[in-house]
C-alpha cells in the first residue's frame, strides 16, 4: 500500500473496537496550546504486525460517524521510524516538524480548531477503520503573545540587491515559524486592522534556520527560535524549490512580517515598520 493511498484516498469510518486506546498526553482538559507539539500515546489491542496501522490527526468537523476523510497529519506507529519500516502495538508519537510525520491536508503547527487523534487500520477494499480516537482542541495563539512579538529591519533603507537583515523576538516560538517581506502597499489593509489574513508571500525565511530549506529533509525547520536575526540574500533563498521568490527586490517600500503558521490562512502575525529599497 502506498503512502498516498492511505493519506489521500481512504474514507474513514468509526471502528467497533473498544480495547485499543489513544490519548493526547499534553492536552489539559482536552486542550493543547497553539504551537505546541502534539504528543500521542496509543495501544493497539489484538495487534497484527503485518497490518500497516497508522496514527492520524483528523479535523473534527461533525459527528464522528458522519465525518468525511480529512486527515491533517499522520505518522506510522514507530516513534523512531517511517511508516512501513516497522509496526508497533504501543508507542508515543510526537507530531512536530520531523521527517517521520507526514503532511496531508495540513501541516504542523496545526491551526487552532477541533481535532481527533485516531489509531487507523487501513483497508484496500473498505474504508479505513478508526480503532480508537480522542477529541482535542488546539487553542488560539494568545493575543498578548502576538502583541509582544516584534520584528524589524536593521536599516531604514537598502540598495537593490543588498542583503536585508532583520531581527525578531517572540514570546512563544513555534516550528516552521517564518518571516516574509511584503510590499507596504499589499498589506496596508492588514496593518490598518481592516483585514485579518496576510496575503501570500513571495520572499520568506525560517526564523530558526535562516533559510528556506530548513534543517530536515522534507519537514522544514524544526528549530524554535524566540529571538535572533535573519538575512535575506541570494544565498539564503531557495530558487530551486521556490522559483517565484522575487529577488532582488524592486525599488519600493516594504515591511517584514513574522508569521506563526506555516500554511494559510495566515491569521497570527506581527509586522515591522516600513523600510525602503532604492536604486
pLDDT tens series, the chain, 279 aa: 233 333 333 334 444 445 899 999 999 999 999 999 999 999 999 999 888 999 999 999 877 666 666 899 999 999 988 888 888 999 999 999 999 999 988 999 999 999 999 999 988 877 788 999 999 999 999 999 999 999 999 999 999 999 999 999 999 999 999 999 999 999 999 999 999 999 988 789 999 999 988 999 888 999 999 999 999 998 888 765 555 567 899 999 999 999 999 999 999 999 999 999 999
Beta-strand relationship, 269-271 and 227-232: unpaired
CATH no., domain 143-278: 2.60.40.2840
Spell out the domain ranges in the chain: 3-138, 143-278
Q: Which residue has the cell 517584514?
A: 256
Radius of gyration of the chain (CA): 21
Q: Write down the pTM of the prediction.
A: 0.88
Assign 120 to helix, strand or coil: strand
Distance, CA of 165 to chain centre: 25
Domain 3-138 has CATH 2.60.40: yes
The total number of residues shown for the chain amounts to 279
Helical H runs in the chain? 3-9, 143-148, 188-191
> Does 143-278 match 3-138 at the fold level?
yes
Amino acid at each position: 500500500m502506498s503512502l498516498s493511498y492511505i493519506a489521500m484516498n481512504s474514507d474513514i469510518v468509526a471502528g467497533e473496537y473498544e480495547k485499543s486506546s489513544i490519548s493526547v498526553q499534553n492536552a489539559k482538559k482536552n486542550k493543547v496550546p497553539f504551537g505546541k507539539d502534539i504528543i500521542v500515546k496509543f495501544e493497539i489491542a489484538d495487534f497484527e504486525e503485518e497490518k500497516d496501522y497508522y496514527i492520524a490527526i483528523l479535523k473534527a468537523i461533525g459527528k464522528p460517524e458522519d465525518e468525511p476523510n480529512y486527515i491533517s497529519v499522520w505518522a506510522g506507529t514507530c516513534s523512531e521510524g517511517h511508516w512501513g519500516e516497522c509496526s508497533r502495538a504501543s508507542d508515543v508519537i510526537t507530531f512536530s516538524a520531523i521527517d517521520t510525520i507526514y503532511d496531508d491536508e495540513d501541516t504542523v503547527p496545526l491551526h487552532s480548531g477541533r481535532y481527533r487523534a485516531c489509531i487507523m487500520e487501513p483497508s484496500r477494499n473498505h474504508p479505513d477503520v478508526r480503532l480508537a480516537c480522542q477529541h482535542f482542541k488546539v487553542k488560539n495563539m494568545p493575543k498578548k503573545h502576538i502583541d509582544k512579538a516584534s520584528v524589524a529591519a536593521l536599516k531604514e533603507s537598502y540598495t537593490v540587491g543588498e542583503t536585508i537583515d532583520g531581527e525578531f523576538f517572540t514570546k512563544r516560538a513555534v516550528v516552521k515559524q517564518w518571516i516574509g517581506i511584503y510590499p507596504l502597499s499589499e498589506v496596508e489593509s492588514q496593518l490598518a486592522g481592516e483585514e485579518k489574513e496576510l496575503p501570500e508571500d513571495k520572499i520568506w525565511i525560517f526564523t530558526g534556520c535562516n533559510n528556506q530549506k530548513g534543517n530536515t529533509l522534507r519537514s522544514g525547520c524544526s528549530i524554535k527560535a524566540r529571538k535572533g536575526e535573519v538575512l535575506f540574500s541570494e544565498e539564503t533563498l531557495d530558487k530551486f524549490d521556490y522559483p517565484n521568490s522575487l529577488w532582488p527586490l524592486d525599488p519600493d517600500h516594504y515591511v517584514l512580517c513574522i508569521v506563526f503558521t506555516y500554511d494559510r490562512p495566515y491569521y497570527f502575525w506581527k509586522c515591522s515598520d516600513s523600510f525602503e529599497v532604492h536604486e
